[in-house]
Amino acid sequence: MTTARAPWVLLAPACLAGAFALLPLGYLAVRSLERGLGFAWGVAATEGTALLLGRSLGLAVAVVAASLVLGISLAWLTVRTALPGVRAWSVVATLPLAVPSYVAAFAWLSAVPELAGFTGSAVALTLVSYPYVYLPVAAALRGIDPAQEEASRSLGHGPVRTFLRVTLPQLRPAAAGGGLLVALYALSDFGAVSLMRYDTFTRGIYTSYRASFDRTPAAALSVVLVVMTVALVALETRTRGRRGHSRTGSGTARPAVPVRLGRMTIPALAWCGAIVAAAVVFPLATLGYWLAAGNLAAWDPAGLVNTAGVTLGVAAAGAALTTALALPVGVVAARYRGRTADLLEQAAYAGHALPGITVALSMVFFAVRYANPLYQELPLLVCAYAVLFLPVAVAATRAAVLQSPPVLEDVARSLGRGPLRVLRDVTVPLAAPGVAAGAALTFVVCMKELPATLLLRPTGMDTLATRLWTETGVGSYADAAPYAAALILLAAVPSYLLGKQRT
């Protein structure tokens, strides 16, 4: 509501950040089309591509279907029933979000090597991504006014008919949105499928890049992958838009009376227990087993500490750059609604749709062509982190700025502060906790990032993630375990602090 246009001091850096985020996408298009559309089509439209496409889509469908079953059943059990220990279950059910896909893959592969391939990939990906369905569906279930269901019952519908005709239709948008996020995760995942040696698009791109000096095939494959993920994100955004409409009234609904499970209590507990055991307990136990089984003599504490230090360093650099770029975009998006702000925000969200491997590839192309000294140097990796995780930081900044009412900025203006000083004295101090939380979150995701780090790290540099990947890849699980443990511990600290701050 303040003066409609954003001041240049904000707009210029925000535009810079937006352009920066679009760089990989733009360059990918240039690169894959530079020998003509026909050539790119020739490279992309092969039997091999069709096979990869089939496998990627098949995997995505399987993972989404399984995640919907797990997510919706857990949501209903934890929100609407008198399941013993409901609170604990609802916390534990979200924990797999913190497990990187390659750690889950490491756990399953090291315990049951026969799982390698489609089954293993599907199991690992489902168990880390079902919370994307669980969380929105549980929220939607909590948001449905029980009075609607009571009205349905009083109008003569039984509990099953009521669930099918009143409850389920209202869960559909949440489930669809969550399912699309899972599909996006499955399509762009590299860690799990590469360890499980299942050839999907991401692994195909990686192999093609490593195998040949001609990088056009890798670029063409990337474009196909990007087209798929962008389509998914567009779909997801549309379902989110509709979800807003279906909600009437924001008053606090009376909590529903929990359903008594009766004789079904034991099977319900077993079901929840099995999911949590597979998704949380099993990876940790496997890790513990390999840590204990590892030959102490083969331990390399100095190397581990060194790798951990490098990981913390690059993640900190990545989080710092990402947060700095996100700040102007977040403020403009929160305070100066309009076409410019919408475009900027969408540009900044490009990383949300781009798989890590394609961002890394485009960075490689760009550096080789225009910035050769940067090729295989740290700054390039940090830039890739910024492109990939700008959406995380922008969302946090935008939300933080929106939390303080704009009237505070109006008042500051009327008291003689210019727009820049209002930003410094009012907007930023008030948003600081939220921005810091966003930076911590970015730090965690940078630390866990695998494909871009693999492609862009300077020669000889290892992060915990790449080391874990390499050791698992050659089957030396005991050597991989300390890196996995260190990664989980280090990522847990900021996650714990974030959780504490929210409550």
Partner 1 sequence: MTDLQIKGLTKAYGPDMTVLQGLDLTVPSGSLAAVLGPSGCGKTTLLRIIAGFLRADAGTVTVGGRTLTGPGTHIPPERRRIGIVPQEGALFPHLSVAGNVAFGVTDRAARRRRTEEMLDLVGLAGYGDRMPHELSGGQQQRVALARALAPEPALVLLDEPFNALDSALRAGVRADVRAALRDIGATAVLVTHDQQEALSMADLVAVVRNGRVAQRGHPQDIYNRPADPWVAGFVGDAVLLPGTAVNGTATTALGTVELCEPTDALAEALQGTVLLRPEQLRLTEPGEAVPAGTVTDIRYYGHDALITVTVDDLDTPVDIRIGGHVTLRPGDRTGIRITGQATLHP
* Residue placing its CB nearer to partner 1 in the complex, 2 or 207: 2
Q: Within positions 193 to 252, which residues make up the interface with partner 1, using CB under 8 A?
A: none
In single-letter form, the type of residue at position 448 comes to K
- Dist. CA 131–CA 178, nearest whole Å: 8
Interface size with partner 1, residues (CB under 8 A): 20
Q: Which stretch binds partner 1 (CB under 8 A): 158-166, 291-299, 404-412, 461-469?
A: 404-412
Among 69, 97, 259, 430, contact with partner 1 (rule: CB under 8 A):
430
Residue 220, CA distances (Å) to 130, 225, 261 in order: 31, 9, 53
Among 58, 113, 241, 429, contact with partner 1 (rule: CB under 8 A):
429
407 binds partner 1 (CB under 8 A): yes
339 binds partner 1 (CB under 8 A): no
String of b and e for 80-116 (b: at least 16 CB within 10 Å)? bbebeebeebbebbeebebbbbbbbbbbbbbeeeebb
* Residue placing its CB nearer to partner 1 in the complex, 300 or 410: 410
Among 146, 413, 458, 473, contact with partner 1 (rule: CB under 8 A):
413
Half-sphere exposure of 17 (CA within 13 A, CB side): 33
Q: Within positions 249 to 288, which residues make up the interface with partner 1, using CB under 8 A?
A: none
Among 281, 368, 411, 489, contact with partner 1 (rule: CB under 8 A):
411
Instruction: Report the residue count for the chain.
Output: 503
* Residue placing its CB nearer to partner 1 in the complex, 113 or 418: 418
Q: Which stretch binds partner 1 (CB under 8 A): 79-87, 399-407, 455-463, 465-473?
A: 399-407
9 binds partner 1 (CB under 8 A): no
424 binds partner 1 (CB under 8 A): no
Among the listed residues 196, 126, 140, 191, the one whose alpha carbon sits nearest the alpha carbon of residue 168: 140
Among the listed residues 384, 375, 372, 374, the one whose alpha carbon sits nearest the alpha carbon of residue 453: 384
**Mind spelling out the 3-state secondary structure of 172-189?**
HHHHHHHHHHHHHHHHHC
399 binds partner 1 (CB under 8 A): no
410 binds partner 1 (CB under 8 A): yes
String of b and e for 433-444 (b: at least 16 CB within 10 Å)? ebbbbbbbbbbb
Among 285, 415, 492, 493, contact with partner 1 (rule: CB under 8 A):
415
- Sequence-distant (6+) residues with CB within 8 A of 232 are 180, 183, 184, 187, 353
Taking the complex as a whole, how short is the minimal distance between the CB of residue 413 and partner 1, in angstroms? 4
414 binds partner 1 (CB under 8 A): yes
Which residues bind to partner 1, rule: CB under 8 A?
1-3, 404-405, 407-408, 410-418, 425-426, 429-430
